[in-house]
Amino acid sequence: MLTLGTLPQLEEMMDKHGISPAMKEALIRCTHFHTFPSPGLLIGVFMTDYALELLKAEPGETLYGVSESHKCAPDALQVLAHCTIGNNRLRVIPIGRFAITLNRKSWDAETKGVRVYVDLEKLKKYQTLYAWFTNDPSFDHHGDGVMTLLEEIIASGREILSSEEVIVLTEKKKKWISVTCTKCGETIPDYLAAGDLCTSCAGTHYYRKA
């Protein structure tokens, strides 16, 4: 099982494969944030670092990110690019592809960005990584396969990635007014209302009263 206790082994792998001090720090920071060194997170760190380099981003620059998967990759964008759900600079669009996009702030409806993704052809060089990524039944989720997987991720780094320049559709900040749900009495933005009800009272529940 992968836990923060796996970090010493992970650090040994980084040293063995000549990972730079800056990248090593990034991988460790993201692992602590994520709470364990998941394979997807580690790939996401390499993806985000690559995208930042392609964009020639300056430290502290305001950037906007998109993750095409809700698994693992968004955390690398949050830690390394400071794109978060809370600051409204991260969108998670669950397409299912393991890819991210980064772009600069723009007042236009469209702006240039860079997209980095896992290239399946390049992945074939790494047998265990390929089996895990394609969800092949041959991959051993509980034995030595997991540590072999982590080592292949560290060894491959950016080798398994490809990139492309893209035009990103930007999201304009919505203007809204506060309205009150006629059932629960709580206030919500008008664009999230379902008639005179909030969406929860209209039937979209994630909890029930104890």
Asked whether the predicted pLDDT for residue 166 surpasses 90, the reply is: yes
Which residue blocks in 56-175 are alpha helix, DSSP H? 73-81, 120-123, 127-133, 145-156
State the total domains in the chain. 2
Partners of residue 65 on adjacent β-strands: 90, 102
Per-residue pLDDT band for 123 (boundaries 50, 70, 90) equals very high
Judgement on whether residues 27 and 114 belong to the same structural domain of the protein: yes
Euclidean distance between CA atoms 128 and 56, whole angstroms? 33
Asked whether the predicted pLDDT for residue 143 surpasses 90, the reply is: no
* End-to-end CA, the chain: 34
Judgement on whether residues 123 and 54 belong to the same structural domain of the protein: yes
Judgement on whether residues 103 and 185 belong to the same structural domain of the protein: no
pLDDT at 10: 96
pLDDT at 172: 77
In 3D space, the residue among 42, 44, 36 whose CA is nearest the CA of residue 155 turns out to be 42
- Give me the count of residues in the chain: 210
Which range of residues forms the domain containing residue 101?
4-169
Judgement on whether residues 87 and 191 belong to the same structural domain of the protein: no
Judgement on whether residues 63 and 78 belong to the same structural domain of the protein: yes
Judgement on whether residues 111 and 203 belong to the same structural domain of the protein: no
SS3 32: helix
Euclidean distance between CA atoms 196 and 188, whole angstroms? 10
- Residue 82's region, left for phi above 0, alpha for psi from -120 to 50, else beta, is left
pLDDT at 129: 97
Q: Which of 94-98, 175-179, 203-207 has the lowest mean pLDDT?
A: 203-207
pLDDT in tens, 70-109: 999 999 999 999 999 999 999 999 999 999 999 999 999 9
Judgement on whether residues 97 and 141 belong to the same structural domain of the protein: yes
Judgement on whether residues 194 and 108 belong to the same structural domain of the protein: no
Judgement on whether residues 59 and 126 belong to the same structural domain of the protein: yes
The pLDDT > 90 percentage for the chain reads 87
Judgement on whether residues 120 and 154 belong to the same structural domain of the protein: yes
Judgement on whether residues 196 and 160 belong to the same structural domain of the protein: no
